[in-house]
């Protein structure tokens, strides 16, 4: 029975969403106000649609086609066919055979990958298109693509054969240690669930033998209009879009009887609480998760339900913050932790508290986990914790309201699709905030504790431990330790005093000593009395949002060449180390209720801060950056977390077929300069906080500063905020031009014919990469043409490796340049293939590089690549990140940045085939290319080249 709040408005919303609804779509029952801008409808053939106007990006449209079929609908002999069917939609339809659909979309300006993609899940398949303009003709063409996917896939036997290798390659690519660990975790929680047996990627043996008849039977049974929904969101007239949906999609018909079902996918019960130790050689260290499955059947999406979910989220947020602080204490054994409730399977949620710790002290960190989980269960949360958490949640709701007018259509369309699948209400941020803000303010610590207890109940938790096989600990050992820990009494958490932000005054505001204004770009440039350079552009692109991009010091240019890995340590420790007077956790408390965030990274020629805030918080955001510049924390107690994060990165690289190449290639190309590539684990482990501080601290405290600000504020407000914060700092040093003259030991040609690496036997795939140095990169006009050439090379690989050879799911080509290192730029092309196809794929790479070198570029190929390339560059001009990061942040050091913004669109549109052929003639000589191969240590089919391996 529905709650009394379920009023007449709910009935109207329900009818709008469910008239003619097929069983595949859950009913929407709620007392919440739906977004009135969404136009809902159901065609006579049963296909549902949702259409909504949205202003950003201007002149563009995002569309989605959902099909309510996924891997759980497969029969045993069909495991993997739903995902394979998605692949075959791109392979050929009656109107667009042999992969020509992608080519047609490219001519329209739709890029393969970023603008045209699809995904298969347990219970649905979704196709996505980002249309380059909002004309009726383009929208009709986009919907026509969906109509072909929905009813006209041909399943040509020859194309099926080619696509098998692509799907198998994708399967191997996704078979990572983390993925295997996740599957083992699912099996622990729901051993009898359909999802455990029905991974969307399917069984390799099935993939190798699916017949056309099997595809057609599955497709005709499940791809039927009553199981489909279309979402259109963008800069369109909703009524006109509705008419187009009806015109294009209304003729779809079922082609065969529906199958009985769908299969009941919701497990009736979870597995009995137990302990599972999952081992995988690709994992580093040991991670433990305490978990409790919660039966969470589909129920009305009501005010009461959302309030309970909010209080539960608050409780888990506090738990995670507690353990983060615990990790910083001298006796803490936990390195990194997370806590929350996630919806892993339909009809179920999981309360989870996970942490990574020291393998040699596993008892200590697992006991801490058990005790902190129990402390929250027994005693709940303090008044101070509640105050800070309420402020943070209120700010997040306010931020959503503030920025909602400029949310992008691609995100909104996906969110709208998800609400249709879940049977939830698509509400506006304003109505959601209005509905929940009084309950947030009134929520008590006891109410949060009760929701926390409901999440865990009194039942024993499941314990899932994932570790490297050197972790010689059994489930029995862990059970004994946890039982002993439960005998340890826990005490009530103590109240903590509130934290006030300590960095409020940096001295008298600086004065602007020079300024200029570029009227055509609406860009202000100024220099303050202490040497700080400041650039600003007001924009309407993101409502209520300001973006800051700041450069200070010299970055990797000045990194000691004999201390590789300092940049990696800085990326972690400056961010996680907090400030001299505040840990990161204290900062979170001090800034709760404020809408701002900052990130830090080491750039090639400067240290970089990137901030985002609402306009009224600009001064506070700049004070926070100024605090990092003057009093960065470099906290010793943060080092274990930074090292753990780096170990996770190294594990990911070790689990990637191309990992060794990614780590080493830039270093080899630079002539062995240790500042490039990724430091080895051994190199990184030698770096110390003392070394880091000696390198970074002078840059932060004295280095030259230039920053760009773009967003929803005024020059007067922005310049005043900069003057009172960064302008109040001591005089900044001039840039050390001697650093810019440092020469790399560049290698214009390979020192060896082949650089060879080995990877773990379990990876199965061979990674092939080639790199071509560009030692004479000129201005941005040449840079753009090099990037266009990389896009052309990517398209060539798509056609040859995927469409024709059927060898690779993942392939890429890129042009890489380093600011501050003008002579270190290069083209790269890479892919991963099976051992059986490695030799053919490697020869194909060589052939295509040679073909491009000879200038073999057809007009059609050139135009198919150019349209998406130009469209994307035009879209950038309405992006605050582009203006702040690419244009403004160093436009006084590099005055050409403004001219580059002026001619960005026109220059990209003017790129000619002759210019690209000139580049290929200059750079694509085969002897200029470095070749890299990484192959599994044990391979029965890959023939290792008889060349000296790189050490």
The residues pairing with 705 across neighbouring beta strands, listed in sequence order, are: 552
Mean pLDDT score of the chain, rounded to an integer?
89
Q: How many CB atoms lie within 10 A of CB 48?
A: 27
Tokens standing for 725? 């914060």
Q: What is the C-alpha radius of gyration for the chain, rounded to an integer number of angstroms?
A: 29
Confidence label for 8 from pLDDT (cuts 50, 70 and 90): very low
Residue 920 has pLDDT above 50, yes or no: yes
Whether the ω angle into residue 194 lies within 30 degrees of 0, i.e. cis, is no
Bigger pLDDT: 932 or 22?
932
Using alpha carbons, select from 463, 462, 439 the residue that is nearest to residue 451: 439
Residue 951 has pLDDT above 60, yes or no: no
Question: Cα 337 to the chain's mean position, in Å?
Answer: 20
Using alpha carbons, select from 232, 27, 18 the residue that is nearest to residue 143: 232
Confidence label for 329 from pLDDT (cuts 50, 70 and 90): low
CA distance 125 to 130: 17
Confidence label for 724 from pLDDT (cuts 50, 70 and 90): very high
* Out of 10-19, 370-379, 626-635, 833-842, least confident range: 10-19
- What pLDDT does residue 746 have? 66
- What pLDDT does residue 334 have? 65
What pTM value is reported for the model? 0.90
Confidence label for 348 from pLDDT (cuts 50, 70 and 90): confident
CA distance 524 to 885: 15
- For 580, what's the count of Cα atoms within 13 Å in the CB-facing half-sphere? 11
Q: How many CB atoms lie within 10 A of CB 504?
A: 9
Tokens standing for 361? 């002290």
Confidence label for 5 from pLDDT (cuts 50, 70 and 90): very low
Could you write out the DSSP letters of every residue in 829-864? EEEEEEGGGHHHHHHHHHHHHHHHHTT---HHHHHH
- What pLDDT does residue 539 have? 95
CA distance 773 to 822: 11
- The answer to whether the beta carbons of residues 145 and 246 sit under 8 Å apart is no
Confidence label for 715 from pLDDT (cuts 50, 70 and 90): very high
Q: At what angle do helices 838-853 and 780-797 cross, to 10 degrees?
A: 140
Give mean pLDDT, residues 568-582: 93
* 798: enclosing H helix or E strand: none
Map residue 24 onto helix, strand or coil: coil
CA distance 440 to 448: 11
Bigger pLDDT: 820 or 678?
678
Q: What are the pLDDT digits (tens) for 33-84?
A: 899 999 999 999 999 999 999 999 999 999 999 999 999 899 999 999 999 9
- The answer to whether the beta carbons of residues 366 and 277 sit under 8 Å apart is no
pLDDT over 70, % of the chain: 93
Residue 529 has pLDDT above 70, yes or no: yes
CA distance 290 to 464: 7
- What pLDDT does residue 261 have? 66
Q: Are strands 811-818 and 821-834 parallel, antiparallel or unpaired?
A: antiparallel
- What pLDDT does residue 726 have? 97
Using alpha carbons, select from 33, 470, 58, 462 the residue that is nearest to residue 275: 462
- What pLDDT does residue 164 have? 93
> Is the alpha carbon torsion for 261, 263, 264, 266 positive or negative?
negative
Residue 942 has pLDDT above 60, yes or no: no
- The answer to whether the beta carbons of residues 588 and 707 sit under 8 Å apart is no
Give mean pLDDT, residues 221-250: 96
Q: How many residues does the chain have?
A: 951
Residue 480 has pLDDT above 50, yes or no: yes
Question: Cα 171 to the chain's mean position, in Å?
Answer: 20
Tokens standing for 842? 């490697």
* Out of 37-41, 267-271, 560-564, 617-621, least confident range: 267-271
List all residues 6 or more positions away from 927 whose beta carbon is below 8 Å from its beta carbon: 749
Confidence label for 262 from pLDDT (cuts 50, 70 and 90): low
User: What letter would DSSP give residue 544?
Assistant: T
CA distance 477 to 517: 70
Confidence label for 1 from pLDDT (cuts 50, 70 and 90): very low
Residue 943 has pLDDT above 70, yes or no: no
Strand segments (E) across 54-193: 61-67, 116-120, 125-131
Residue 113 has pLDDT above 80, yes or no: no
Confidence label for 939 from pLDDT (cuts 50, 70 and 90): low
Give mean pLDDT, residues 561-571: 95
* Out of 525-534, 857-866, 939-948, least confident range: 939-948
Highest mean pLDDT among 92-101, 456-465, 598-607, 776-785: 598-607
Tokens standing for 694? 């000696």
Tokens standing for 362? 């596993």
- What pLDDT does residue 6 have? 29
Q: What are the pLDDT digits (tens) for 622-659?
A: 999 999 999 999 998 888 888 888 888 898 898 899 99
CA distance 414 to 435: 23
User: What letter would DSSP give residue 529?
Assistant: T
Tokens standing for 340? 């929350």
φ/ψ (deg, to 5) at 64: -135, 140
CA distance 87 to 865: 22
Using alpha carbons, select from 524, 528, 546, 544 the residue that is nearest to residue 536: 524
- The answer to whether the beta carbons of residues 456 and 291 sit under 8 Å apart is no
Residue 933 has pLDDT above 80, yes or no: yes
Confidence label for 532 from pLDDT (cuts 50, 70 and 90): very high
CA distance 336 to 411: 30
Specify burial of residue 757 (Cβ count, 10 A radius: 0-12, 13-18, 19+). buried
């Amino acid at each position: 029975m529905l709650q009394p709040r379920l009023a007449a408005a709910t009935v109207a919303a329900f009818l709008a969403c469910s008239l003619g609804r097929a069983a595949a779509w859950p009913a929407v029952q709620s007392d919440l106000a739906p977004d009135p801008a969404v136009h809902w409808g159901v065609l006579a053939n049963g296909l549902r649609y949702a259409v909504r106007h949205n202003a950003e990006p201007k002149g563009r449209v995002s569309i989605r086609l959902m099909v309510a079929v996924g891997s759980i609908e497969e029969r045993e002999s069909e495991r993997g066919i739903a995902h394979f069917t998605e692949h075959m939609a791109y392979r050929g339809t009656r109107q667009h055979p042999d992969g020509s659909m992608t080519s047609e979309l490219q001519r329209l300006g739709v890029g393969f990958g970023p603008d045209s993609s699809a995904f298969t899940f347990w219970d649905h398949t979704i196709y996505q298109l980002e249309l380059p303009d909002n004309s009726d003709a383009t929208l009709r063409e986009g919907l026509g693509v969906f109509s072909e996917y929905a009813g006209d896939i041909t399943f040509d036997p020859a194309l099926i054969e080619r696509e098998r290798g692509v799907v198998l390659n994708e399967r191997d690519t996704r078979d990572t240690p983390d993925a295997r660990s996740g599957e083992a975790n699912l099996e622990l929680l729901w051993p009898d669930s359909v999802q455990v047996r029905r991974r969307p990627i399917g069984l390799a043996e099935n993939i190798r033998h699916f017949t056309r008849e099997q595809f057609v039977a599955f497709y005709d049974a499940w791809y039927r209009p009553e199981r489909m929904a279309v979402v259109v969101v963008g800069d369109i007239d909703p009524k006109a879009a509705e008419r187009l949906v009806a015109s294009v999609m209304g003729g779809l018909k079922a082609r065969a009887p529906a199958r009985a079902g769908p299969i009941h996918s919701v497990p009736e019960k979870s597995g009995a609480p137990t302990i599972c130790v999952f081992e995988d050689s690709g994992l580093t260290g040991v991670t433990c998760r305490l978990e409790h499955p919660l039966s969470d059947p589909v129920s009305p999406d009501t005010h009461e339900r959302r309030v309970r979910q909010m209080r539960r989220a608050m409780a888990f947020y506090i738990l995670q913050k507690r353990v983060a602080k615990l990790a910083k204490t001298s006796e803490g054994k936990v390195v990194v932790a997370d806590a929350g409730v996630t919806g892993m399977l339909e009809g179920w949620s999981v309360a989870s508290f996970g942490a990574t710790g020291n393998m040699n002290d596993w008892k200590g960190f697992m006991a801490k986990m058990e005790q902190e989980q129990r402390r929250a269960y027994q005693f709940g949360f303090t008044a101070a914790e509640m105050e800070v958490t309420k402020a943070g949640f209120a700010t997040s709701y306010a931020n959503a309201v503030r920025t909602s007018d400029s949310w992008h259509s691609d995100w909104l369309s996906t969110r709208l699709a998800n609400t249709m699948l879940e049977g939830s209400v698509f509400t506006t941020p304003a109505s959601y905030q209005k509905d929940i803000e009084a309950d947030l303010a009134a929520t008590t610590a006891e109410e949060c504790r009760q929701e926390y207890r409901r999440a865990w109940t009194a039942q024993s938790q499941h314990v899932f431990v994932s570790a490297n096989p050197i972790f010689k600990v059994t489930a029995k050992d862990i059970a004994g330790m946890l039982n002993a820990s439960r005998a340890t009494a826990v005490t009530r958490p103590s109240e903590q005093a509130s934290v006030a932000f300590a960095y409020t005054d940096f001295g008298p505001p600086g004065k602007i000593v020079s300024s200029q204004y570029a009227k055509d770009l609406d860009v202000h440039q100024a220099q303050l009395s202490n040497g700080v350079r400041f650039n600003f552009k007001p924009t309407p692109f993101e409502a209520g949002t300001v973006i800051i991009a700041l450069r200070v010091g010299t970055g990797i240019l000045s990194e000691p060449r004999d201390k590789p890995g300092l940049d990696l340590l800085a990326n972690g420790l400056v961010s996680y180390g907090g400030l001299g007077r505040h840990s990161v956790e204290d900062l979170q408390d001090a800034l709760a209720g404020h809408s701002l965030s900052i990130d830090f990274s080491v750039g090639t020629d400067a240290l970089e801060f990137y901030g985002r805030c609402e306009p009224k918080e600009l001064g506070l955001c700049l004070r926070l950056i100024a605090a990092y510049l003057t009093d960065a924390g470099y906290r010793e107690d943060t080092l274990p977390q930074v090292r753990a994060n780096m170990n996770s990165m190294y594990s990911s690289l070790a689990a990637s077929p191309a990992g060794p190449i990614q780590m080493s290639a830039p270093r080899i190309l630079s002539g062995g300069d240790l500042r490039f590539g990724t430091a080895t684990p051994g190199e990184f482990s030698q770096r110390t906080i003392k070394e880091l501080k000696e390198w970074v601290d002078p840059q932060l405290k004295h280095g030259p500063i230039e920053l760009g600000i773009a967003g929803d504020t005024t020059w007067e407000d922005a310049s005043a905020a900069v003057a009172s914060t960064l302008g109040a700092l001591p005089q900044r040093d001039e840039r050390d031009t001697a650093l810019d003259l440092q020469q790399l030991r560049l290698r214009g040609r390979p020192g060896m014919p082949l650089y060879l690496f080995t990877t773990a036997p379990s990876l199965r795939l061979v990674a092939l990469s080639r790199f071509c140095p560009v030692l004479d990169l000129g201005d941005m006009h040449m840079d753009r043409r090099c990037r266009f050439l990389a896009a052309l090379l990517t398209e060539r690989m798509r056609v040859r490796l995927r469409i024709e050879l059927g060898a690779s799911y993942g392939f890429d080509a890129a042009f890489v340049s380093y600011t501050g290192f003008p002579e270190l730029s290069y083209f790269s092309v890479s892919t991963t293939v099976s051992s059986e196809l490695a030799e053919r794929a490697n020869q194909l790479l060589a052939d295509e590089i040679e073909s491009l070198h000879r200038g073999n570029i057809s007009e059609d190929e050139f135009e198919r690549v150019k349209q998406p390339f130009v469209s994307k560059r035009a879209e950038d001009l309405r992006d605050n990140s582009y203006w702040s990061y690419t244009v403004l942040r160093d436009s006084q050091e590099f005055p050409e940045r403004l001219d580059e913004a002026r001619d960005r669109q026109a220059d990209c549109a003017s790129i000619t085939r002759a210019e690209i052929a000139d580049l290929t003639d200059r750079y694509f000589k085969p002897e200029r290319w470095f070749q890299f191969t990484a192959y599994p240590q044990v391979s029965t089919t890959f023939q290792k080249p008889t060349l000296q391996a790189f050490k």
